[in-house]
A and B are shown apart, each in its own frame.
Chain A
């Protein structure tokens, strides 16, 4: 048996031509990267209370960065929502108490959204995106900020956003911590001076 194998091997070596090329399979594994959104929340120019309503505050244009390095080509959609703007202060009708006043998130509007790809990302497709509505009036419910159809938007994009805030001349009492106040919850008041804050949330989801 051993002898037979040696003979076959020897025969095989004699018949094989001299090799001068070789095919080698090379493979690389590409794994999914980040699906990520980031932004800088706006700080508005101060406004002074006047008889004008609404009083308009502006913020420098800011970029929202959207990254789809998942490599899935699923497309994506980005949403934005905001809490109502709130301010805490001493109750003017009861000095031992404090109140929280608020004006609605809908006072904040985003507009002028245009997406620009980074240098190593695919261009924006005029039909399949990334694309955005012309303006977004914020609310506590998520609103569509931008989306990209499956097969597009794979890369990194900067979304230029203009923020504008239409401050109403009235506020609503949304919190109070004492019973000595002359106010009641949800009373309407004039606009109080102070620094109002709202948490803006942006969410990026795979798929559309």
Chain B
């Protein structure tokens, strides 16, 4: 019995000694990162359109094409979705020399112009109808791209073919400056040669 007690005491002593030596220690804490929402925007860049030469097409119809690149930036961090709309103004030319008077200039706009956009590249998931869809442009904004809620976050790029058809060789006078012109506003005339410009406007709206 005495021998057992001695042995027991020794074992206890060793155990106490071992437990008194710490071997590891852990600590933890919560790292905190606050991410704030940024803005939402759309940008468009036009990569130019091919020239039209009058008189080449005997039926008086002309076509021209160009590439348009849309980029959207949704940095709100909400995944609220968005829609992009586009509108195209009339193709017009200003400061054209008035052939009926040496003292005046005219502004004209092309008649019967039809323009549509067709997806040719970029991330097609945001385009309703997929890559085959075409969007006719007019002076009234039309939705050309949609990101459903939960999608379209960050940066997205879309490239479209802008296909413009001019179905007649006529233009309408929209402005007359100077004196002595034989034209009146609204007169329809043959297309004066020159550079015609239209403004492609885009807008991005939150949600869809």
Most buried by A among B24, B31, B149, B150: B31
Q: Which residue of A lies closest to B153 (CB)?
A: A190
Q: Which residue of A lies closest to B26 (CB)?
A: A203
In the complex, A38 Cα to B28 Cα: how many Å? 8
Q: Say which residue of A42, A50, A200, A205 sits within 8 Å of B28 (CB atoms).
A: A200
**For residue B29, which residues in chain A have a CB less than 8 angstroms away from its CB?**
39-41, 199-200
Q: Say which residue of B26, B74, B152 sits within 8 Å of A204 (CB atoms).
A: B26
A42-B31, A170-B154, A191-B77 are known contacts. Are A35 and B36 too (CB-CB below 8 A)?
no
* Chain B min CB distance to A202 (Å): 5
Interface residue tally for chain B (C-beta within 8 Å): 36
In the complex, A42 Cα to B22 Cα: how many Å? 27
* Chain B min CB distance to A88 (Å): 13
Q: Which residue of B lies closest to A91 (CB)?
A: B150
CB pair A44 B78 closer than 8 Å: no
CB pair B35 A196 closer than 8 Å: yes
A contact patch SS: strand
**For residue A194, which residues in chain B have a CB less than 8 angstroms away from its CB?**
34-35, 77
* A195 interface contact, C-beta 8 A: yes
**For residue B148, which residues in chain A have a CB less than 8 angstroms away from its CB?**
93, 182
A37-B25, A200-B29, A203-B24 are known contacts. Are A190 and B37 too (CB-CB below 8 A)?
no
A-B CB contacts (within 8 Å), total count: 159
**For residue A203, which residues in chain B have a CB less than 8 angstroms away from its CB?**
24-27
CB pair B33 A165 closer than 8 Å: yes
In the complex, A79 Cα to B48 Cα: how many Å? 59
* B30 interface contact, C-beta 8 A: yes
A92-B79, A92-B149, A203-B24 are known contacts. Are A108 and B34 too (CB-CB below 8 A)?
no
CB pair B80 A92 closer than 8 Å: yes
A189-B79, A190-B74, A201-B27 are known contacts. Are A46 and B34 too (CB-CB below 8 A)?
yes
CB pair A44 B150 closer than 8 Å: no
* A137 interface contact, C-beta 8 A: no
Q: What bracket does the count of chain A residues touching chain B fall in? A: 35 or more
A91-B150, A189-B150, A190-B79 are known contacts. Are A197 and B23 too (CB-CB below 8 A)?
no
Contacting B at CB under 8 A, from A127-167, are: 163, 165, 167
CB pair A195 B32 closer than 8 Å: yes
CB pair B24 A195 closer than 8 Å: no
C-beta contact mask, B140-160 vs A, less than 8 Å → 1, else 0?
000000001111111100000
C-beta contact mask, B18-55 vs A, less than 8 Å → 1, else 0?
00111111111111111111100000000000000000
Q: Say which residue of B22, B33, B151 sits within 8 Å of A195 (CB atoms).
A: B33
* Chain A min CB distance to B98 (Å): 49
**For residue A47, which residues in chain B have a CB less than 8 angstroms away from its CB?**
33-36
In the complex, A151 Cα to B153 Cα: how many Å? 55
* Chain B min CB distance to A156 (Å): 13
A-B residue pairs in contact (CB < 8 Å), sample of 16: A31-B20, A34-B25, A35-B24, A38-B27, A42-B31, A43-B32, A46-B35, A49-B38, A93-B79, A182-B151, A191-B35, A195-B35, A197-B32, A199-B28, A199-B29, A199-B31
Known pairs A108-B31, A194-B35; list 10 more (Cβ under 8 Å). A32-B21, A37-B26, A48-B37, A48-B38, A92-B79, A163-B31, A197-B30, A202-B27, A203-B24, A205-B24
Closest 6 CB pairs of A and B: A190-B153, A41-B29, A193-B77, A93-B150, A92-B79, A193-B37
Chain A interfacial positions (CB closer than 8 Å to B): 31-32, 34-44, 46-51, 57, 70, 72, 82, 85, 87, 91-93, 108, 163, 165, 167, 169-170, 182-183, 189-206
Chain B interfacial positions (CB closer than 8 Å to A): 20-38, 73-81, 148-155
